[in-house]
């Protein structure tokens, strides 16, 4: 690809915009993503956040953030971003601030707001071509309220509202919505998936997005120790496994054209990933649910087979 200032981890910017002392859980993947995301964006940003775990970053009278922050209702973070964008544009037009003083408008929400409750608001904003960034920290459930199923919960996950039982030992029977594809159908300038284990990949994507005007959208894999039942120290490991087993594809779409930024040569068996988390424990204990594990594996294989075929064609 084109020139990048990010070659290795040594190029991670030193400046912090998310300072110590937040009330989020130890080992929170979402917070790690936000921290790195802000480093790549730089300090000239204003944040718009909807209800979710990271809302708690700002519990009066404390804030770990160096940036301005606006809180909206669950469904309306992208609408909030529209308001701030408009205000900034008007201020520039009236000469009250110079174009140099302009700010990047950054929405960040959890998967609950992105996949379910605020899906329409984001769709509207993308359709209007709003010039903003949207970072989804996807921990695959409503973690803030105790880990209930969301539109982002993968098949066979155990959540508070999809507990495996004798009648239904599978857990969640639905599938994870494909938000990347929902968004891609709008053909925005930039969409990417990112993961906190693949920091250089993440930084380069943000760097590329900076060049575009209009919606720049990111879906971030965000391990959540209490919800996923994983050890706090495993957050980065699990993210790495998710990428290497093919559970979490790293890709981008520029005006709708998809490109994978990392294609695993050999997929690690998905079991290796599932076994790191209590939310999949019922697939292995007390009995191994072979069929379910196989279904999960086959879905992943199919996905990557299509990707490989397409790469070959190109």
Partner 1 sequence: MLKIRFHGRGGQGVKTSSRILGRAAFLDGYIAQDSPIYGAERRGAPVVAFTRISREPILERGYIFDPDIVIVVDETLLDDERARPLDGVKSGGIVFVNTQSEQAQVENVDDKLFIKYSITDAALRVIGKPIVSSPSAAAAAKITGIISKESIIQATIDELSELGLAEEALERNLRLVSEVFDTIPTPQLKILNGETTPREVIQLEYKGVIYEDIVNVGNASLRRVGNWRIFKPIVDYQKCTGCMLCFVYCPDSVISLDAKNKPIIDYENCKGCLICVKECPLHAITAVREVKIYA
Binding site for partner 1 (CB under 8 A): 9-10, 12, 14, 16, 18-29, 31-32, 35-36, 53, 56-57, 59-67, 163, 196, 199, 225-226, 231-237, 285
Shortest reach from residue 245's CB to ligand SF4, in Å: 21
The per-residue DSSP string of 118-159 comes to THHHHHHHHHTT---EEEEEE-SSBGGGT-B--TTPPTT---
**196 is an interface residue for ligand SF4 by CB under 6 A:** no
Nearer to partner 1, 255 or 284 (CB): 284
Question: Shortest approach of partner 1 to residue 59 CB, angstroms?
Answer: 7
Q: Taking CB under 6 A as the rule, does residue 53 contact ligand SF4? A: yes
Q: Read out DSSP for 8-74?
A: SGGGS----SB-S--SSPTT-HHHHHHHHHHHHH-S-EEEEEESSGGGGG--TT---BSSEEEEE-T
Q: Is 25 in the site for ligand SF4 (CB under 6 A)?
A: yes
Least CB distance to ligand SF4 at residue 143 (A):
4
Does residue 216 sit in helix, strand or coil? strand
Q: Is 225 in the site for ligand SF4 (CB under 6 A)?
A: yes
Distance CA 234, CA 89 (A): 43
Indicate which of partner 1, ligand SF4, none lies near residue 64 (CB less than 5 to 8 Å, by partner kind).
partner 1
Quote the least distance from Cβ 297 to partner 1, whole Å. 25
Q: Token digits for 285?
A: 């204990």
Q: Which helix (H) or strand (E) holds 116?
A: none
What is the spatial distance between Cα 141 and Cα 163, in angstroms, rounded to a whole number? 13
Q: Tell me how far, at minimum, the Cβ of 226 lies from ligand SF4, in Å.
A: 5
Binding letters toward ligand SF4, positions 104-143, x by CB under 6 A: -----------------------------------x---x
Closest distance to partner 1 from the beta carbon of 99 (Å):
24
What SS3 state is found at 168? Answer: coil
DSSP code of 218?
E
List interacting residues with ligand SF4 (CB under 6 A).
24-25, 28, 30, 53, 139, 143-144, 224-227
């Amino acid at each position: 690809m084109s020139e990048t200032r990010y070659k290795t981890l040594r190029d991670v910017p030193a400046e912090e915009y998310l300072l110590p002392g937040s009330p989020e859980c130890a080992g929170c993947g979402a917070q790690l993503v936000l921290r790195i995301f802000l480093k790549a964006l730089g300090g000239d940003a204003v944040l718009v956040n909807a209800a979710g775990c990271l809302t708690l970053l700002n519990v009066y009278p404390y804030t770990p953030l160096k940036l301005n922050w606006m809180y909206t209702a669950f469904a309306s973070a992208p609408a909030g971003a529209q308001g701030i964008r408009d205000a900034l544009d008007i201020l520039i037009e009236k000469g009250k601030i110079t174009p140099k003083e302009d700010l990047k408008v950054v929405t960040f929400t959890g998967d609950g707001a992105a996949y379910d409750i605020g899906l329409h608001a984001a769709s509207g904003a993308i359709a209007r071509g709003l010039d903003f960034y949207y970072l989804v920290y996807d921990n695959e459930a409503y973690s803030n309220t105790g880990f209930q199923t969301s539109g982002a919960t993968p098949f066979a996950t155990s959540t508070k509202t999809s507990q495996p039982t004798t009648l239904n030992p599978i857990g969640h029977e639905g599938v994870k919505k494909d938000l990347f594809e929902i968004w891609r159908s709008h053909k925005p300038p930039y969409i990417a998936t990112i993961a906190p284990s693949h920091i250089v990949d993440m930084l380069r994507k943000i760097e590329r997005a900076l060049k575009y005007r209009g919606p720049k959208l990111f879906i971030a894999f965000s391990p959540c120790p209490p919800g996923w039942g994983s050890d706090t120290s495993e957050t980065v490991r699990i993210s790495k496994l998710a990428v290497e087993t093919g559970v979490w594809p790293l890709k981008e779409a520029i005006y709708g054209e998809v490109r994978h930024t990392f294609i695993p040569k050999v997929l690690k068996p998905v079991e290796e990933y599932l076994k790191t988390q209590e939310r999949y424990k019922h697939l292995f204990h007390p009995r191994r649910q072979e069929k379910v594990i196989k279904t999960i594996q086959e879905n992943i294989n199919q996905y990557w087979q299509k990707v490989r075929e397409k790469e070959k064609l190109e």
